[in-house]
Amino acid sequence: MTETMLAREATRLQSRGLTVDTRVGRGDPVGELIDASMVGDLLVIGSDHRGPSKGHRRGLHGVRIAAGAHSPVAVVPDIDLTDRSGVVVGIDGSVDSERALDFAAEEADRGGDVLTTVTTWTTVPLPVGMHGYPSTYLSGMQQASEETLAIALAGIGQQYPDLVVHRVVERGSPGRTISDRAAKARLVVVGSHGRGAIARFLLGSTSEEVLARLATATVVVR
């Protein structure tokens, strides 16, 4: 039954001009897909997530697979993305976000989409006795974050001269801000901070929050 179902899907894709190979595995689907990610440039999985307000029916398998995969992972929710446009990418100045930016810029340029780059910042907890932040502190955090984004985007204009880039620098949670911007986008790209054997099972709070809310097709880049 599995082979018949897979052959049917392969035929459907071949009719669109694609070359398709098939493989049937037996066992834990999470482990099988993680193993499959070792031989491909991108692993794409479906999710039963139907939007931030409806949640998952069967749990956050996308988080487990993306955390353990050896390649970038695209998680596609059960949402109609037909009229969506634009690519959103989270940037925090890390090497992981540089890889995410490279992936997002190439994909946006290929599809003729606007690329929205998102950088956020948060404040430290107020000490006892203080009732507010100095205005210079808040403006300084905003400026520093804008500089981080500007440095990350240096060279993108030369590499993709026709790419339209929107810059978003806001105070707030990175995961929530990215998810809010993703509500009308066709794709979101975030970096994973997992490294090494043990860290393969960790994504980082931003990636996990974006996958938990899953507002659109989302790629986690290593």
Q: Are 149 and 169 in contact (CB under 8 A)?
A: yes
Tell me how many domains the chain contains.
Answer: 2
Task: Please count the residues of the chain.
Answer: 222
User: At which residue do the structure tokens 């502190």 appear?
Assistant: 137
193 and 163 within one domain: yes
CA distances from 207 to 57, 115, 178 (A): 20, 19, 10
Q: For residue 22, what are the domain limits?
A: 1-27
43 and 4 within one domain: no
| Model confidence band, residue 204 (pLDDT cutoffs 50, 70, 90) | low
Mean pLDDT of 42-46: 93
- pLDDT of 58: 53
Look up the CATH number of the domain holding residue 59: 3.40.50.12370
Q: Is the pTM of this model over 0.75?
A: yes
d(CA 160, CA 108): 10
**Is 32 contained in some domain?**
no
CA dihedral 80, 85, 87, 88 (to 10 degrees): -70
Give CB contacts under 8 A, 24+ apart, made by 79-85: 79/49, 79/50, 79/51, 79/215, 79/216, 81/186, 81/216, 81/217, 84/184, 84/185, 84/186, 84/216, 85/113, 85/114, 85/184, 85/185, 85/186
pLDDT (tens digit per residue) in 140-176: 999 999 999 999 999 999 999 999 999 999 999 999 9
pLDDT at 59 over 80: no
Mean pLDDT of 104-112: 97
* Of 12, 77, 6, 92, the residue nearest 47 (C-alpha): 77
Mean pLDDT of 204-220: 88
pLDDT at 125 over 90: no
